[in-house]
Structure 1
Amino acid sequence: MREYYFREMKEEYLDKVLQIYTYYVLNTSATFHSRSLTRAEMSEIVFFDNEKYKTFVVCQEDEICGYVYIAQHKKREAYDNTAEVTIYLRPDSIGKGIGSMAIRYIEEYAKRMKLHVLVATICGENEASIQLFEKNGYVKCAHYKEVGQKFGQLLDVVAYQKILA
C-alpha cells in the first residue's frame, strides 16, 4: 500500500492545487466560485499571514492528491480560537480514506495552534463532504437556505463543527 504524507504549502505546489480547485469550480457546487481563479487569486486562498492558519498538501509518492487548510473564521478577536477547515481532493483520490486522514492531520495542527473549534462550511447537496465530516465527529450547527447560487440553482449551505479536546 502506498503511503500518504503531508507537506506545508509552498509556491511550487500552487499550480497543482489550482488545478484541483478548478475541477471543483467548473464541475461541482462544492465551491461557490463560478469561474476559474488566477494563480494570484488562488494564492490568496491558500497562503496566510498568520502562522496559526496553514495549508498542507496531501502527497503520495511526490504526487499531490489533495490539500487541506485551516483559515480564519471571522476577523474579530472573539473568534481567535475558531478556524474554518477545508479539504479538496483530486477526484481520483476520493474514497481512499485520504479525507479522514487530512481531517485528523489538520486537527492535530489546530490543537498545536491552541484552536478550540473547527468549522466546516459545506454546500447542502455535497453529501460526500457532509458524510466525511460527520464520520470524523463533526456535528451540524447551522443550515442556511438558498444562500448560494450556482449552475442556475439556489443552494443551501450547512455548517459542521467540532470542539477539539
Structure 2
Amino acid sequence: MNKSLRLEILEEKDLGLVKDIYNYYIANSTATFHTGSVSEADLKDILPIGDSRFRSFLIYFDNEVAGYCYLGRYKPRAAYDRTAEVTIYLKPEYFGKGIGREVLLQMEQKALEVGIVVLMGIITAENEASVKLFERMGYEKCGHFKQVGEKFGRILDVVAYQKLL
C-alpha cells in the first residue's frame, strides 16, 4: 500500500463522524442489522470507548478519515476476555484499496498487545467482500447461523469466522 494508513483511538468527540459512516451502512446494506438511523448517544452503547482493552479506532488513509474499527467484547463475562469481535466499517470511496487487510493486521497486533488472543468476525453471509477478507487473512469459518436476520424484506444468514492469534 503506497499511501499512509494509521489508526487513532476513537473518542466521544468523533461520534459524529462514526454516526455518518454507520448510518450509511444501515440505509444501504445488510452489513448491519440495525434498520433505523442511530444517534451519537446510541453509538456510546455500541462502541467501546475508554476501555483499556476493548477499543475503537478511527481509520486514517492519506490523512483523511476512511472509516472506523473496533475490538468489541465477544460476550460480557470475564471468561471470554481473551476473545474479541473485530469490526471494520469503511467509507464507500475507500473500498477496494487494500485498507481492510491493513486494518485487520493492525487490529490483530493491537489485540495481542492487550492479551486478546482470539478474534471473531461476525458477518452477514451475503457480504462477500468481508467474507473474502477474513478468509484471505487466515480466519476459519466456525459457524453459520441460518435465517437469523431480516432486512429490506430479505431473510439473512450470519456467518462467524475466528482466528487464533
Question: What's the offset of the Cα at 1:50?
Answer: 3.2
Which runs of 5 or more structure 2 residues have no equivalent in the other structure? none
Q: Deviations over 1:76-108 (max 9, x none)?
A: 222111110000000010110110111011110
Question: What's the offset of the Cα at 1:47?
Answer: 3.0
Partners in 2 of 1:18 and 1:84 — Cα distance?
Answer: 20
Which runs of 5 or more structure 1 residues have no equivalent in the other structure? none
Q: Deviations over 1:16-41 (max 9, x none)?
A: 11111111000000000000001100
Deviates most, 41-50 or 129-138: 41-50
2:119 equivalent to 1:118: yes
Aligned to 2:135: 134
Q: Is the 8 A contact 1:66 1:89 kept in 2?
A: yes
Q: Is the 8 A contact 2:141 2:159 kept in 1?
A: yes
Partners in 2 of 1:117 and 1:95 — Cα distance?
Answer: 26
Partners in 1 of 2:101 and 2:132 — Cα distance?
Answer: 10
Count of aligned pairs between the two proteins: 164
Aligned to 1:63: 64
Residues 69-88 of structure 1 correspond to what in structure 2 (within 5 A)?
69-88=70-89
Q: Name the TM-score, length of structure 1 as normaliser.
A: 0.95
Q: Deviations over 1:59-89 (max 9, x none)?
A: 1343210111101101122211111000000
SS of alignment partner, residue 154 of structure 1 = strand
Deviates most, 40-49 or 144-153: 40-49
Deviates most, 73-82 or 132-141: 73-82
Partners in 2 of 1:77 and 1:47 — Cα distance?
Answer: 16
Aligned to 1:149: 150
Residues 25-36 of structure 1 correspond to what in structure 2 (within 5 A)?
25-36=26-37
Partners in 1 of 2:6 and 2:62 — Cα distance?
Answer: 9
Q: Give the aligned residue type for 1:39.
A: E
Partners in 2 of 1:61 and 1:82 — Cα distance?
Answer: 31
2:105 equivalent to 1:104: yes
Q: Is the 8 A contact 2:26 2:36 kept in 1?
A: yes
Q: Name the TM-score, length of structure 2 as normaliser.
A: 0.95
Identity percentage of aligned residues:
44
Partners in 1 of 2:5 and 2:50 — Cα distance?
Answer: 27
Q: Give the aligned residue type for 1:124.
A: A
